Each structure stands twice: as C-alpha cells, then as structure tokens.
Structure 1
Amino acid sequence: MAGVKLNYKLADWMSHLPVSSVQTPLNLLAIPGSHNTFSYSISPSGDVGPDQPQWIQDLTRMFGTAGKDTLCRWALTQNLNVSQQLEQGIRYLDCRVCWFSKTQDFHFLHGLIGAKAATGLDEVSAFLVKHPKEVIILDFSHFYSMSNTDHVNLLTMLTDKFGSKMCPYIDMESVTLEMMWEHGLQVLIIYQNDIVKEHLTFWPRTTIRSPWANTSSIPDLMSFMDNQYKSGRTDNVFFGWQGVVTPGMATIVSNFGSSLKDTLAIKLAPFFVSWLKDKKTGCHGISICTMDFIEQANYVSTLIELNYNAC
C-alpha cells in the first residue's frame, strides 16, 4: 500500500486506521509529534525562562527588547497553536514546564516564558471531546523551578483535566487503540520526574527513549538517524525520533538577523521527511517522531502513511 492517499481529515486519522494498526501496541505505530509543542506562545515581550543559563539571562537583560527578540527568533519551534497542531494530526506533545513566581502559576516555556499550562491543556481537552477516537501522548519532558510540592500540584491539575480519559501505567503490549477506545481512554501522560513512582496513573521516564543528535549539521543529523535505525530499538518502550537540528552559538552569531526556522528548520524538513518515506513501523522501526514547524514538507501525512504501508 505504498503511497496511500489519506481521504479523510487529519484531525481524525487514528479512527480511520486499518484493523491491524488499531490492534497494534501504540508504541509500535508511527505517531507524528511536535518538538517544543507550546513554543508558539513565547514572544519578545515575555520574561526570559529559567531554562536559560545565567549568561543568556544577563545578556538579554543588558540588551532589553532587542535581546529578547533575538532569543525568541531562535527559540521558536512552532507557528501553529496546539489546537491547530492537533487538527493537523499531531498526537505527541513535547511539554516543557516551569513554575513562574511572577504569576504564581505553571507556564510552558522555551527560552522565554510562554502560555499558562492550564490554557494549553484546556485546548487539548477540548479537542478530545470533539474527537473521541483520537489518542494523545503528553510527554512532560523538562521541568524548571519546580519543588516537590509544585510537581504534586501539576499532577493534580493533569488528573483534574483528563481524569477518566488517562491511560494508567500498564504493560506496553496491552496499550492499543482498540483497548483505549473500549475503555474510553484518550490520554497517555509520560511524566519524566521520579515523583510519579507514587502516582501510577502516569508513565515514568523509563518508558520512553529519545536520542538527541545535538547538532546544527543536517548531514550529521541524518547520519545519526541512519545509525539509530540500523541498530534498532527495544519494543517495550516508546521511541522518539528527533528530526531537529540545534543551533550552536556560532550558527546564531553568523545568522544573527535570521531565525531557527529560516536558517535550519525549513532546510531540514524535506530531508527528514524524505528519509521517513521508505521506513517501516514495528518493533525495529519508526515510532514517535518530532519536528520543528510541523506544517512543512507533508511531514504529518507522510508519517501517518507508514501505518498503512506496514499492512
């Protein structure tokens, strides 16, 4: 079925998968994700985030709005808001959160403080109500300026918002779309902090691996991806393929007036998507993928098609 054309809206792609995919463990499906999902909400008017080293915080304070404008251009990884991303077929959300003392609330962040976490999560919840057969993986991968009490409060917020729709931490082989539909489950939350050892509704950090190339070079990234694909992976975890390049200081300085999108992400997208086209799903294949600016190069539909090509 190579080259299958999707004849339905991407907002409902999971509900249209073939029976074989519906009965396959979720971690063995090809799942489109976005890198730094909520970064669309940052702006130069925001505060510098605690995820930044002290020297960047000092530098942006020194240069004021101009410094924060530069930081924003190189920290922004998504243009579409979370509702638009979900409507476009994204089902894995990369969540990076801090406790922000100025507002006394949880915020998403990347370089700069973004939207309140509750606001973004409410959009996710609203999407689930409209699309009862779609399943979303929320991966809380990074935390900043958070105490144990803050973690407990964030876990409580997540439980309050998603409640009975949350898939508990169980044997990976049992988690299929068929099983989740049968039990009215739509959300699987990975929470990468040891506090979840006491909260078994959440999935611990050991349930996902996401090797990071940490390079600004497209050829080096593609070589890294090739090596990962050839070496295979275990079938008892989620596996993240990070189709992202990371700007170093030299890249930013030599392209100072540009942005992550124009200098790197737009150039990478066709190479990453082309690389995906002949790959397979399954225990040694493609699983979760992430990319900057997910609307580029037919990324989402290319990835979804892999679930048909496996049949």
Structure 2
Amino acid sequence: MSLETEEEASTWISDWMSQLPPELHTVPLFHLAIPGSHDSMSYDLDINSSIIEPDRLKRFSGIYCVRKTVHKWATTQEATVKTQLDAGVRYLDLRIARKPNDADPTRLYFYHGLYTCTDVEGGPTLKSCWDQGRNVIVSYDYQANQHPELWGKIKYFYGDTMDPNEVESKLCHALEKERPSHRFFVCGLNLTLPSDTRTLKYVLRPCDNLGRVELRSLPKLLLWLKQQSRKTAVNIVASDMVTHDDFVSTVVDINLKHVTG
C-alpha cells in the first residue's frame, strides 16, 4: 500500500461517519456499528494515587508495588482520547469519581483502579463542542439527580472473563437473546480480571499486563465479531487497545452490510 493510500485511508477512518454511503445517512444511530473504547482514560492512570478499586486492595494503597501492579492491569488504553477520536472511535467509556479528603471537594477525576492524573475540568465541555459545531450525546448510568439533557444508561454486554472463548459465547447469547432492538447498546470485547484469587494467575506474571493480553486476544475477537455481525445486529462495539489490529475499520466496515445486503 502506498503512503498516499495509507494517508487517504487514515483520513477516511478518522471522519468515517460523514463518509458513509448516502443510504446510511437516515439509518438510526442505534442501527449503526460504532467503534468505542473501554475505560477510555485509563492511559493516564496516576501510579501515585490511592487505589480506588478493587475494594480488597484499597488498604494497600501505601505500598508502591501494589499500586504498580494495579496500574499494569488497569491500563486498558495506550492512546489519548484525542488520538482515539482521530482513529475513528465515537463512544467513550468515562469513569468519574471524587478523591476523598481532596483540598477541592468539587474536583472530579477519571479512574480505573487508580485515579487519573488528568481531572475532569481539563476535558472538553458540551459548550465547547457546540461552539465548534460538534455534537455529543451524554449517557449517565446513575439515576440520581438525572437531568433531561442526559440520556439514561446504555446497556453494556461483556464477557466478564479473561477467556476470549467465553467472551464470544456470552456476547453471542446477549446479541441473540437480550439486545434491545430500538435502543443503543454496547458489545464489549474487553477482557475482565476475575474478582477472586484467580486473578493472581494473571497479575503475578512479571512481564505481562492487561494490554498485552488484550492484544493477543483482539484478532480472534474481531474475527468473531465479523462472523457474528452477519447473523445479528451490533451497535456500539467497545474494546481495549482500540488503535490496534484494525479494530475501528473492522467495526466501521460492518455498516456496509446495510448497503450490500
């Protein structure tokens, strides 16, 4: 592939929504395949922060090697949000929390196992997006103090396992039996560490981390996704390490089935 062709392909995928065939311009968004990232801000985890999850490790926050282990196995992305968006990602999974005893109790941080270095104040706002003529849909999981401007929870289906075969099996069942037909939903290709002592099987590997495990599994999961999408509809597809293994282009290409058949 020539450099010019690679650049053209990169430009197309970064702006893929506007480049879809005209036949897809009136298709509801919940009927399109949309690439998304799981724990989108985890590339920015602060190894010096206290541990926010899992609960059983919180009391070990003062031990550097424990925080380092959490950091290795909580980092699901390596690219910044801007890079993810430029790569074609259009769904961001953002976990937000306050730090206890923070000097500024209103300050919010992203998190996944640890807090991020970046606080929420440093991110884009709805106003800044609107001022630039861009659109954002905000879905909020919790019902407390729900505002009409915010969409309700989007159902997230995932395997809850480190075994890609089990991920495929559970997602297959969800897509065939549980997926909503007229709402947004997420098909999560992400792997998940066990919540019990079985997690030691993974975290005690000195030269491994969650990102590497995911990269070894992602090609298989993407092949399954292409096969499954011929049988059942998919909507948002979220993954770890979203800038690798043609993840975005694989998801975007699923939309062409609306045109070709």
TM-score normalised per structure 1: 0.72
Determine the structure 1 residue equivalent to 2:59: 58
Deviation (angstroms), 1:242? 0.6
Identical-pair percentage:
24
Deviation (angstroms), 1:256? 4.6
Query: Structure 2 vs 1, CA of residues 289 and 65 (structure 1 numbering), >3 Å: closer, same or farther?
Result: same
Deviation (angstroms), 1:17? 0.7
Query: Structure 2 vs 1, CA of residues 164 and 27 (structure 1 numbering), >3 Å: closer, same or farther?
Result: farther
- Report the AA paired with residue 185 of structure 2: F
Deviation (angstroms), 1:30? 0.4
1:203 aligns with 2:151: yes
Determine the structure 2 residue equivalent to 1:133: none
SS in 1 for 2:15: helix
Structure 2 regions of 5+ residues with no counterpart? 1-5
Determine the structure 2 residue equivalent to 1:229: 175
| Matched-pair contact (CA < 8 Å) for 1:281–1:307 | no
Deviation (angstroms), 1:230? 2.8
Query: Structure 2 vs 1, CA of residues 56 and 232 (structure 1 numbering), >3 Å: closer, same or farther?
Result: closer
Deviation (angstroms), 1:80? 0.0
Deviation (angstroms), 1:228? 2.2
Determine the structure 2 residue equivalent to 1:154: none
Matches within 5 A, 1:15-164: 15-49=18-52, 51-53=53-55, 55-61=56-62, 64-100=63-99, 101-102=101-102, 104=104, 105-114=107-116, 115-119=118-122, 121-122=123-124, 158=125, 160-162=127-129
- Report the AA paired with residue 95 of structure 1: L
| 1:206-230 Cα deviation digits (max 9, x unpaired) | xx21123211111111111222233
Partners of 1:291 and 1:212 in 2: how far apart? 10
Partners of 1:103 and 1:204 in 2: how far apart? 31
Query: Structure 2 vs 1, CA of residues 97 and 186 (structure 1 numbering), >3 Å: closer, same or farther?
Result: same
| 1:105-134 Cα deviation digits (max 9, x unpaired) | 110011111021122x22xxxxxxxxxxxx
- Report the AA paired with residue 238 of structure 1: F
| Matched-pair contact (CA < 8 Å) for 1:196–1:203 | no
TM-score normalised per structure 2: 0.85
Determine the structure 1 residue equivalent to 2:257: 309
| Matched-pair contact (CA < 8 Å) for 2:16–2:88 | yes
Partners of 1:45 and 1:190 in 2: how far apart? 30
Cα RMSD for the two superposed structures? 2.4
| Matched-pair contact (CA < 8 Å) for 1:281–1:287 | no
